[in-house]
Amino acid sequence: MRTLPAYQTLREQLRDEIAAGRYSDGSRLPTESELVARHGLSRQTVRRAFQDLVAEGVVYRVPGRGTYASGADGRYLRQLGSIEDLMSLSDDTTMEVLTGLRRRVDLEAASRLRLDDDIVYSVVFRRLHDGVPFVSTTVHLVPSVAQALIASPALADRAVGRQTVIGLLEPHLVSPIIEAAQSITVGSADLAVAEAVRCAVGHSMLRVDRLYSDADGRPVELSVSHFLPEQYTYRVTLRRSG
């Protein structure tokens, strides 16, 4: 009988304990140090088990706080607290480009990007977790910034991969992205969004707008995302200041 690697054995044990209710939704799991001491494993083995569980959506990690059970409702859950967290979407989701990056006239997007005219460059894609689409996103880029990505095969029609637009963009920026101003509202699925996430037209959606700015305070990217509530949970941790 084949023996599983130690990290897989630990992963399965933790998954079973979560499924059995030992760690309910939002409960903190033992720390890496605690599991190392309890099971006599290396820290790397424990870390690999946690990485797999995060990728599966079984647990989520809060930097500086610990690892928490995500619950068993099957929805994709993200714990977001930094630009790096947004970039890590590429770790466990697939990006499918529906309309490749191209020039377009969009008065509203250009205004929000503080442009002098109405020209932006936009790409439309969806993200899937375990093959299930959970969000449709339109990203608008400042023309001067978009030129670095206009020929990127990762943003061409029907491209499929594991990347984020900001991850593709950052190596080409003079100043790094340091801020994402975010607003969350309730929206509804138009025909394009409905087809992307496989829901009915008019279905209630979670709309998340993010305006990314560089270290000089210049907007470089505007993303407008419509999340399917049945397939997505958005979690934010708030802390008391002072």
Query: Hey, which residues does 206 pair with through a beta bridge?
Result: 186, 227
Does the reported pTM lie above 0.85? no
**Residue 115: its pLDDT value, please?**
95
183 phi and psi angles, rounded to 5 deg: -130, 140
Average pLDDT score over the chain? 86
Q: Is-contact 119 145, C-beta < 8 A?
A: no
Q: Which of 40-54, 136-150, 213-227 has the lowest mean pLDDT?
A: 40-54
Indicate the DSSP class of residue 42: -
Angular region, 228: left φ>0, alpha ψ -120 to 50, beta rest: beta
- Where in the chain are the domains? 6-69, 76-235
Q: Which of 39-43, 134-138, 227-231 has the lowest mean pLDDT?
A: 227-231
What percentage of the chain has pLDDT greater than the value 90? 52
Nearest alpha carbon to residue 126 among 29, 56, 199: 199
Question: Please, how many CA atoms are within 13 Å of residue 111, restricted to the half-sphere of its CB?
Answer: 3
**Residue 67: its pLDDT value, please?**
85
User: In CATH terms, is domain 6-69 a member of 1.10.10.10?
Assistant: yes
Domain 76-235: CATH architecture, name and number where available: 3-Layer(aba) Sandwich (3.40)
Measured distance CA(91)–CA(114) in Å, rounded: 32
Indicate the DSSP class of residue 218: -
**Residue 242: its pLDDT value, please?**
57
β-strands 160-161, 132-141: how paired? unpaired
| Digit-coded pLDDT (tens) for 164-202 | 898 899 889 888 888 989 999 998 999 999 999 999 999
